[in-house]
Structure 1
C-alpha cells in the first residue's frame, strides 16, 4: 500500500495565491510594500544572533545575577545547558547525555522544556551538514520564549520521571524556569502551571529582555568573562569520551574524500576526553554556565556520532549514573493512564502497532512495517486462544479513523468478527484529564533545586496556565507497553525503541505503579 493511500490530500493554496495577486495589483500595495519590507528587515536583524551579540559588548554587563546576589541560588554553583531539538525521543536521548555530562563535569543540569516536534532541527551528522552550536542554541531559546508567551510550556521532567536521580543525588538539576527566574531575573509566570512555580515568580524582570539572556546563554557574549562558555565543538569535529586514554586521536568515522570535495570542507573528527577538555583546569571550568549545542548521539559505522561514553570503570559514581539513565520511565500520571486504558477500555489481551506519519522513519519503512503487521496478525489468527473474541489491536497513529477507508486499517476495521481496533485522540477524556494531572503535579519544578523564597507556595490567578499539554504520544506509548500479544513498530523509529524498552523493563506490570 503506497503512502499516498495512507495520507490526506495536500491543502489547496489557490485561494491564498488569488488573494496575494489581488493585493499586489491594488494601489494600497504601493504604499504598504515599502513599510512591509522595512518591518521584515528590522525583524530579521533583531532575531539574528550576530546582531544580538553586538548588544552584549557592554562593559556594564555582569555575570553575577540578581538571584545569586539575593542568596536564592547556591553561591558559586556551576551549570550546564544544552540545545534540545527534533522529536521527543531524540530530546530524551539528549537529556540522558546531558545528565551524563553534568555528572562528569560536576555541574547542575538546567532541565529544559519539551520542544514542539521538529521546532528546531540539527541536520545530519553523517552528512556533516548541521547547524553550528551558537545558532542552534539561539534557535532553541527563541522556541522556548514562544512556548512561554503562548502558555504551551511543559518541562521534559513533567513527562520523564527523574525522581530517582534526584533522590540518589547522582546529578544535580534545576528546572529551566527556576534558573531563568533566579539567574536571568526573568519573570516566567506565563510558563507556570501550579503553586510551586508561581511561588518563584516575582512579577518583574531585572534584565532588560528575554533577548539579552538568550543571547548570553547561547554563548554570544564572548566578552562577558567567566559567565558562559559556549562549546563550539560539534559532531563534525569531535567525539567526546571519558577515561579511555585516547585523547586527541582520530575517530574511525571520517568524511569521505568525495564528500569533502563535493561540499568543500576539511573536517577531521577527533576523540576528546570531556573531563580534560571542559573540566577543572580548562578554560571552560571558570564559566558559571557551560553551554553545549546538540547532545544527540547514535552509533554509526562502528563509531558514535558525538558521545562515546558507555562505561567508567575508574569512576563508580559515573558508572552508576550510566546504569540509571539507560532507561528513564514516564511520570506516574502517564503510566497510570496507559494502564487504565488497557484495563478499562480494551479489557483483553491486545496487539499494538505503531503507524505514525509524522515519524520520520515511517516513510522509509512503511512497506516493511505493514508486512510485519500482516505477518503478526496472521500468526495470531492461527492461535485459537487469540481468535475466541477476535483479535484486539491498539493502533498508535496520527491518521484519523475517518481516513482509514481504502487502507489496510480500514479492511481490519470492517471485519468486525475477526478484529477490534482501538485508537486514542487528543480530545478523549483520558487524555484531557491526564494532561491536567501532569500539570498539577509539577514534576519539572520538583525535579531539581528549589529556592526558599516563600514560606508557603503561592498561586495567583494571573500566574497559573490553563493550557492543555500535548501528551497523547506518551500515553499511547504507555498503552503499547501493556500489549501482551506483542508490538509491531516502525523499523529505525526512536518511538518504537522506547516502547520496546518499556516492555523490556516491565513498566506496565510493575507493582509500584
Structure 2
C-alpha cells in the first residue's frame, strides 16, 4: 500500500499476543479504525516505557524491499511528529513523566483521527473490512460489490447493514484525491486473509499495469527473518542436534487449540510410527510447544521423553546461549541507528529461532492445524530457508 501510494511506511512494533483486539471480519466483529489506531498507539508507548519494544524491522529482513518502500521506525516518527524525546519516558521525575504522557496521549488521539481529518496534515481512513476491499488491478471496476457479503442471518443477529465494495486504492487515495495532499495517511488494521473466495480487506495479488508493484508483490510473498535469527537457528541445529530430525510444533494452551489435543497428537503419532518403521533409531525430535515441560508427563510428549532408546527430544529455551547472543546482537545492530528509547530488556527472539530450527527438519514437520506459526514454518520450508548443513554459518 505504501509503495502504490508512494508513501513512507511507519514500521510498527511486535505487539503482545492478544494486546489489541484486531477483530474478526468474517463475523463483522471489528473495532472502529480510530479506536484500533489509538489502542495500538497506547500499546506501543507502553512497550517503549517498559523496555520491551521490539520493532518488526528487527525481526523481519526488510532489505529486499528497501529500494521500493521507504520506511521509518514508529519511535522515530513519534519523536519527530509529537516533538518529544522518548528517553524522557524513563525519567524518575514524576512531573516529566506526567507532562510527556499527556503530550503523547494528545498526539496519539490526533493521529488516530479522533479530531477528524485536519487540513493537509492528516487523513484518517475510517473504512475497514466490513465495507471495503482494496484493489489495484486492471480488471476491477472501482465500486463493484465484493463476492463476500454478510449473510441475512448475520445481518439480523448483529443488526448490521454493511455492504462490501471493491475500491481501487490508487484512485481513492492517490493523486487527485483528498487523501493525496495529506502528510499522514492513517489506516486502521491492514490485516487481510482469504475467506470464501475473497480477501478480507486487501486483494492485490498481482499488478500487470505496474511493473514496480508486481516485482514488490513477488518479494513480499515471503519475507524471511533477519539474518541473525536465521543463522542462530542453523547454529543450534548444527551444534545441538547434529542429526536428521523431525520438528513437532504443538500449540496446546492458547484459545481454540487447548480443545484439540487429541487431533494434534494423533498426527504426530502417525509420523513417529512411520519413522520407527524405517529403523533409524533413536529418532531425533525438536519440540516447540507452549506446554511447560513439567506437564509433559500427562500427554504423548511424556511417552516420547521417557523412552530414550527410541527417541531423543530437543528443545530450545530463553536460557540457551545462542538465544541470548542473538538477542544482544540484534539489539546492538538496531540501537546503533540511535533510535531513542528506554533501556531495553533482552529481546524476545525465542519463537523466531524455534521456527528457523523447524525449517531445517530433514525428517519432516508436524504442525498444529490452524496455527499461523505452523503456516509460517511451512512457508519457510517451502522457500528453503535452511541451507544444507555444510553451508550453515558458525
TM > 0.5: yes
Q: Distance in 1 between matches of 2:227 and 2:54?
A: 16
Residue deviations 1:379-407 (CA, integer Å, cap 9, x gap): 100112x32xx000011012121111121
Residue deviations 1:184-203 (CA, integer Å, cap 9, x gap): 212123799xxxxxxxxxxx
Asked if 2 retains the 8 angstrom alpha-carbon contact of 1:278 and 1:285, the reply is yes
- For residues 17-416 of structure 1, the aligned pairs below 5 Å read 101-166=1-66, 169-189=67-87, 209-222=103-116, 224-243=118-137, 244-360=139-255, 362-363=257-258, 365-384=260-279, 386-387=280-281, 390-416=282-308
Deviation at 1:255? 0.8
Of 370, 374, 378, which residue of structure 2 is paired with 1:496? Answer: 374
Q: Distance in 2 between matches of 1:307 and 1:267?
A: 17
Of 381, 386, 391, which residue of structure 2 is paired with 1:508? Answer: 386
Asked if 1 retains the 8 angstrom alpha-carbon contact of 2:142 and 2:166, the reply is yes
Q: Distance in 2 between matches of 1:458 and 1:228?
A: 24
Q: CA RMSD in A?
A: 2.3
Deviation at 1:466? 3.9
Deviation at 1:340? 1.1
Deviation at 1:153? 0.8
Asked if 2 retains the 8 angstrom alpha-carbon contact of 1:185 and 1:206, the reply is no
User: SS where residue 442 of structure 1 aligns?
Assistant: helix
Judge which range, 132-141 or 353-362, deviates more: 353-362
Residue deviations 1:115-162 (CA, integer Å, cap 9, x gap): 111110112100111111010000001101111111111101100010
Question: What TM-score do the two structures reach when normalised by structure 2?
Answer: 0.92
Q: Distance in 1 between matches of 2:88 and 2:101?
A: 17
Deviation at 1:312? 0.2
Residue deviations 1:432-474 (CA, integer Å, cap 9, x gap): 222111111108x86xxxxxxxxxx699xxx662411221111
Which structure 2 segments of 5+ residues have no match? 91-98
Question: What TM-score do the two structures reach when normalised by structure 1?
Answer: 0.71
User: SS where residue 348 of structure 1 aligns?
Assistant: coil
Asked if 1 retains the 8 angstrom alpha-carbon contact of 2:238 and 2:392, the reply is no
Residue deviations 1:282-308 (CA, integer Å, cap 9, x gap): 111111111011111111111111111
Q: Distance in 2 between matches of 1:497 and 1:153?
A: 25
Which structure 1 segments of 5+ residues have no match? 1-100, 193-204, 447-456
User: SS where residue 509 of structure 1 aligns?
Assistant: coil
Asked if 2 retains the 8 angstrom alpha-carbon contact of 1:329 and 1:502, the reply is yes
Aligned to 1:83: none
Aligned to 1:431: 323
User: SS where residue 246 of structure 2 aligns?
Assistant: strand
User: SS where residue 312 of structure 2 aligns?
Assistant: strand
Q: Distance in 2 between matches of 1:274 and 1:487?
A: 39
Cα distance change of structure 1 residues 404 and 364 upon mapping to structure 2, 3 Å threshold: closer
Asked if 2 retains the 8 angstrom alpha-carbon contact of 1:425 and 1:431, the reply is yes
Deviation at 1:429? 2.5
Deviation at 1:363? 3.4
Q: Distance in 2 between matches of 1:260 and 1:245?
A: 27
Larger Rg: 1
Cα distance change of structure 1 residues 217 and 434 upon mapping to structure 2, 3 Å threshold: same
Work out whether 1:417 is the aligned partner of 2:309: yes
Work out whether 1:474 is the aligned partner of 2:372: no
